[in-house]
Amino acid sequence: MENQYINREISWLQFNGRVLQEAADKNMPLIERLRFIGIFSNNLDEFFKVRYATVKRIAMAGKKIKNIMVGYEPKALMDDITQIVIHQQEESLRILEEIRLALKNENIYIIDENQISASQDEFIRNYFVNEVSPALVTIILNDLKALNIRTESAAYLAVKMVMKTEHKPSGLKKLFQPAKKDIQYALIEIPKSINRFVVLPDEGEKKFIIILDDLIRYNLKSIFNIFNYETLSAHMIKITRDAELDLDSDLSKSFVEKLSESIKGRSESQPVRFVYDADIEKDTLDYLLDKMGFEKNESIIPGGKYHNRRDYMSFPSLQRSDLQFKQYPPLPIKGLELQGSLIKKIAQKDYLLYAPYHTFSYVIKFLREAALDPKVKSIKITIYRLAKVSQIASSLINAAKNGKKVTVQIELQARFDEANNIRYAEKFQEEGIKIIFGVPGLKVHSKVCVIEREEAGEIKRYGLISTGNFNESTAKIYTDYTLFTAHPVLLKEVNKLFEFFETSFKVHRYKHLIVSPHYTRNKFFKLIDAEIDNAKAGREAYIHLKINSITDIRTIDKLYEASRAGVKLRMIVRGICCLVPGVKNMSENIEVISILDKYLEHPRLFIFGNNQEPKVFISSADWMERNLDARVEVGCPIFDESIKQELIDTFEICWSDNVKARIISANPNNEYRRNNHPRVRSQFATYDYYLEKMSNKN
């Protein structure tokens, strides 16, 4: 059957197109629209570093692409990616200009080097001398045999100097042999240590910002004042490199040593994308491509005057709260007071934290209480991504200083957080914390914590099972579920997981938890089969899923089988969706939407009808090959009936979204879902749901 699957990379680009739609949405606050431009650009950088780089590696090796790449030769896929990205880049530039003009109506002016007033000149020159000039790295290219840009995802101003001719020909020679101009080329690295957006002094009610690139352009003459040039021009370029880690096979080196060396090696890895200002002179572009060894068939993408637009994520607020999202203070969890003992409360019943609607402070409080409680004997936790300055880490160190036995399973290969995790691992070890570096051949992506407390001469366990990282920074912008529980059977199985980390050759059995890589696929297939049986028997049969991505072919085929049997499937998929819904005789009973808004939708939630007695699970695992077969993941059944209903309710709120939901189909246009139902913007409606829950006395 044709069009059975959507190519994974193409689907990802469609997802990033939805991010760009947020920037284009005129109902969004203006500064937030700029920040979505930044998110779009940052996503694209990571895509080229990882996904495009992988396709390129396959193409260079002359291999066929398997599974989800069916129907694509690697080279053809690279070409299609490049064309889609060029179109999206053009659209992003159009949106940026639209936002820039709209900001003018708000008395906010983003000026360039040609718009600087006399009153701004002194400020800019002083700022350059005191702040920018000491941080500049300038490379003169002409005498270099080759150019190897090592800084990760840096943007550069490519400078062309046409030099003055010192010895001019005379007489007939002057008429027939005009002097050949000498040209010098240079690169100026845009410093990452300085805010990209320089806020200039206000002029009345008018606010002015200059982008750092333009501030540098304004001061080019002072940078190159030792050169005798005739003309001087500067255009931006950016190189993206393959970010896959190639680990050394040297058995004499520790894993941390190998990983550290591999991270450093990223600066010398294969380039996968070259983006340039479309106004750059052709001879300058050709010179740079030749100098850097870029082939003409590489992903060479024309862009606008500015690159590294991911910096728009940090666009200054300018004290204009009206141009940003309304701030909603995170709510307490009903019945769970931060002032009292969380452990005593959790001993009585389970609680659900849904960040960022609820405050993440509960997780910090749980660990801080465990660190101080004399009855707590041990803490075990998995770490995938920590905040740069982490209260989680501080609490664990506090516990170790108080004599608790602390075990941290830390995933050193969490992409782009490797260096941060190595730094924390070393710090933990210095404080006497036991560190586990994972399972050979598997990433540990589960998010669990278990503490052991001595009560009346016996050990009782309390713990956390989450869909997201134990990271207080991302918890402000990622939606995720965290279950607080003292359920002895669940936590006994969480404890088994840590035994597996230490003796990975011994595979444990789990009656309740759904653990990858050994059981997740089979367990979910059995749950799908049960719905298929219900449908065939004429009973109500449905599956409701909320996940980040679905790419696994076998799982997609299983859902097609369920659809053909009459099972009704509702799927909320934020990112990649290789499944094609709504196709007659294949997926006509499957509906898929994607929601993008203020927060990043991150939880994994699975609801199975189970003949009117729903089974509900939260999980760290998406339905991708890596999560099912190559990672340690944990899914957890929900036993508490009130929490089960809460999860069903929040799913239904998301499903009813007709403001920020897009319809996922074979059509790549990311069409918004619109209907005649009352207007529902699910993220704001979810906050209202919990606000009402707090005020309800029952």
DSSP code string of 164-196 = PPSS---HHHHHHSPPPPPEEEEEEEPPTTS-S
pLDDT tens-digit map of 362-373: 999 999 999 999
CA-based radius of gyration for the chain: 28
Residue 250's contacts (CB-CB under 8 Å, 6 or more residues apart) are 258
The residue from 271, 292, 323 where one domain ends is: 323
Q: Is residue 558 part of a domain?
A: yes
CATH number of the domain at 33, please.
3.30.1840.10
Position 267 confidence tier, pLDDT thresholds 50, 70, 90: very low
pLDDT the model gives residue 168: 54
528: closest CA among 564, 562, 577?
Answer: 562
Q: Are 640 and 522 found together in one domain?
A: yes
To the query of whether residue 445 is one of the catalytic residues in this protein, the response is yes
pLDDT tens-digit map of 588-614: 999 999 999 999 999 999 999 999 999
pLDDT the model gives residue 76: 86
pLDDT tens-digit map of 9-34: 999 999 999 999 999 999 999 999 99
Domain count of the chain?
Answer: 3
How many angstroms separate the CA atoms of 659 and 42, rounded? 25
- DSSP secondary-structure letter at 227? S
How many angstroms separate the CA atoms of 243 and 47, rounded? 10
Q: Is residue 2 part of a domain?
A: no
Q: Is residue 1 part of a domain?
A: no
Q: Are 525 and 632 found together in one domain?
A: yes
pLDDT the model gives residue 82: 87
**168 neighbors 174 (Cβ within 8 angstroms):** yes
pLDDT the model gives residue 314: 93
Q: Is residue 73 part of a domain?
A: yes
Asked if pLDDT for residue 245 goes beyond 50, the answer is no
Lowest model confidence (mean pLDDT) among 61-70, 134-143, 155-164, 571-580: 61-70
pLDDT the model gives residue 298: 58
Q: Are 318 and 429 found together in one domain?
A: no
Q: Are 363 and 289 found together in one domain?
A: no
The residue from 295, 323, 351 where one domain ends is: 323
162: closest CA among 188, 149, 181?
Answer: 181
Position 542 confidence tier, pLDDT thresholds 50, 70, 90: very high
Q: Are 308 and 403 found together in one domain?
A: no
Q: Is residue 624 part of a domain?
A: yes
The residue from 502, 529, 544 where one domain ends is: 502
pLDDT tens-digit map of 449-467: 999 999 999 999 999 999 9
Q: Are 443 and 525 found together in one domain?
A: no
Q: Are 560 and 664 found together in one domain?
A: yes
pLDDT the model gives residue 2: 56
Other CB atoms within a 10 A radius of the CB of residue 19 amount to: 22
Higher pLDDT among residues 70 and 563, named by residue: 563
Mean pLDDT on 568-581 = 97
Q: Are 192 and 109 found together in one domain?
A: yes
Q: Are 346 and 270 found together in one domain?
A: no
Q: Are 311 and 398 found together in one domain?
A: no
CATH number of the domain at 590, please.
3.30.870.10
Asked if pLDDT for residue 499 goes beyond 60, the answer is yes
Q: Are 600 and 484 found together in one domain?
A: no
**Sole residue written with tokens 């090796």:** 61
Range of the domain at 362: 342-502
Asked if pLDDT for residue 573 goes beyond 50, the answer is yes
Asked if pLDDT for residue 639 goes beyond 70, the answer is yes
Asked if pLDDT for residue 147 goes beyond 80, the answer is no
Q: Are 498 and 636 found together in one domain?
A: no
Q: What angle, 0 to 180 degrees and rounded to 10, lies between the N-to-C axes of helices 418-430 and 391-401?
A: 20
- Strand, coil or helix: 396: helix
Q: Which residue in 235, 307, 358, 445 is the catalytic one?
A: 445
Q: Is residue 255 part of a domain?
A: yes
Q: Is residue 330 part of a domain?
A: no
**Cα torsion 172, 174, 178, 180: sign:** positive
Position 584 confidence tier, pLDDT thresholds 50, 70, 90: very high
How many angstroms separate the CA atoms of 444 and 257, rounded? 19
pLDDT the model gives residue 502: 87
Higher pLDDT among residues 102 and 144, named by residue: 102
pLDDT the model gives residue 441: 83
For residue 17, the one-letter residue type is: G
Mean pLDDT on 460-480 = 96
Mean pLDDT on 614-641 = 96
Lowest model confidence (mean pLDDT) among 262-276, 351-365, 440-454: 262-276
For residue 581, the one-letter residue type is: P
How many angstroms separate the CA atoms of 628 and 507, rounded? 16
Q: What is the pTM of this model?
A: 0.88
pLDDT the model gives residue 667: 87
Position 577 confidence tier, pLDDT thresholds 50, 70, 90: very high
Percentage of the chain modeled with pLDDT above 70: 89
- DSSP secondary-structure letter at 505? T
Q: Is residue 3 part of a domain?
A: no
**6 neighbors 666 (Cβ within 8 angstroms):** yes
Asked if pLDDT for residue 238 goes beyond 90, the answer is no
How many angstroms separate the CA atoms of 381 and 376, rounded? 14
